[in-house]
Amino acid sequence: MEMEILSERELEKIAYNCKKATMLIEKQQIERISAMEKFELELHLKGCLACIIYMKQSILINEMVRNFFRRHHPDIKLDEGFKKLLKIRIEEHLRQS
């Protein structure tokens, strides 16, 4: 149905526009995209291997970044002197109340 509304020129624009397609790929991973956007993206991906690869890698990169931060968080430590001071301040506060 949507196909009929779009002129050949508009279809061509969608087929070329990798910038728009990659934006929709990002959007789709975060929230629902509209039916029209979904149609545009599917149409684009039918003819664009580069964006198909982009989509696979985009999903994988999210996973990699998530893993990276979960694994690397414990590496940064607060120095022991500062921790001691913090503890003293908290204990003082608890004694007062």
Place of tokens 């002129």: 7
Cα→Cα distances 64→34, 51, 53, 57, Å: 28, 19, 16, 10
**Residue 73 binds other proteins (CB under 8 A):** yes
Q: Judged by CB under 8 A, which stretch of 3-11, 34-42, 56-64 contacts other proteins?
A: 56-64
Rounded to whole angstroms, the Cα distance separating 39 from 37 reads: 5
| Selected binder of other proteins within 3, 30, 32, 35 (CB under 8 A) | 30
Residue 36 makes contact with other proteins by CB under 8 A: no
Q: Which stretch binds other proteins (CB under 8 A): 1-9, 17-25, 32-40?
A: 17-25
Instruction: Please pick, from the candidates 11, 13, 28, 38, the single residue that binds other proteins as defined by CB under 8 A.
Output: 13
CB of 34 to other proteins, least distance (A): 14
Pure H helices in the chain:
2-5, 8-16, 18-30, 35-47, 49-72, 80-96
Q: In terms of CB distance, is 4 or 31 closer to other proteins?
A: 31
